[in-house]
Amino acid sequence: MRDERKTWIKSVRGGPSRYAEWEACGLRWLGEGSAAGGARVVEVLDSDSDGLVLERLVPVAPTVEAAEEFGSALAATHSAGAPAWGAPPEGWDGPGWFGPADRPLPLELGAWSSWGEMYAVRLASLTRLARDGGELTADEARDVDALGARCAAGEFDTGEAPSRIHGDLWSGNLMWTADGVVLIDPAAHGGHREADLAMLDLFGAPHLERIHTAYDEVRPLQDGWRDRVGLHQLYPVLVHAVLFGGGYARQAMGIVARL
């Protein structure tokens, strides 16, 4: 791989053989929206099976102005759309992954007819892993499965078309630079735009309410979206339960109980 000044090499050794390609494809797909006002995405300069060569980003302190600009840009990225619920980035023909590069979990991709059907499949996959690993009891797994069945039945569908989402938009995947917020480390696919906002809320993000306000001004959020934040957070929390155990399983079951 090319190594030049002002670049950063991200190693993915220890992960799936095509993980670097998956991430590079997602970054480029998200980056297609930048020219139309979408969020800026870190530039992929090169990649191979060991990792990626990316433009080097110099972090600065978050500002209100950058947060508002990012909120507006994220709405434009989402509006770039996707061909189906669960659709992979354009040009990708393999499995998807979600989580740390050295130990990601499978992210089911496909072409579901509704968000709820897609989400039910993904919850079921994680529930099996958590039950088999001892993070969830059999009764807890049944409760998650029951929620998944409600999703599959369309109870939480909002009637929107799939958006082009980052897919793993926790605050650590926002780089605050002198030129504004830059997206890194995606699990990009056709998904629900509320999922990206819920991920930002999961571990907290600087000036989050300013991001929300600016987003809503460009692409208004549907009524009740705040009530669905926990629903969208359930997937990443279950991923954390499978990978790290600890209190994440209790957090997941708290979400299920509230729903």
* Cα 122 to chain centroid, rounded: 13
Residue whose structure tokens are 């780089």: 175
Q: Enumerate residues 6+ apart whose C-beta is below 8 A from 254.
A: none
Q: Catalytic: which of 3, 102, 145, 168? A: 168
Beta bridge partners of 181: 176
- 3-state secondary structure labels for all residues of 4-41: CCCEEEEECCCCCCCHHHHHHHHHHHHHCCHHHCCCEE
Q: How far apart are CA 140 and CA 147, in angstroms?
A: 11
Q: 100 with 113: CB under 8 angstroms?
A: no
User: Tell me, what DSSP letter sits at residue 140?
Assistant: H
Distance, CA of 258 to CA of 148 (rounded, Å)? 14
* Angstrom distances, CA of residue 207 to CA of 164, 177, 250: 23, 15, 28
The conformation of residue 74, written as its DSSP 8-state character, comes to H
Respond yes or no: is residue 168 known to be catalytic. Answer: yes
**Cβ(187)–Cβ(107) below 8 Å:** yes
CA angle 85–86–91, rounded 5-degree value: 115
Active-site residue set: 168
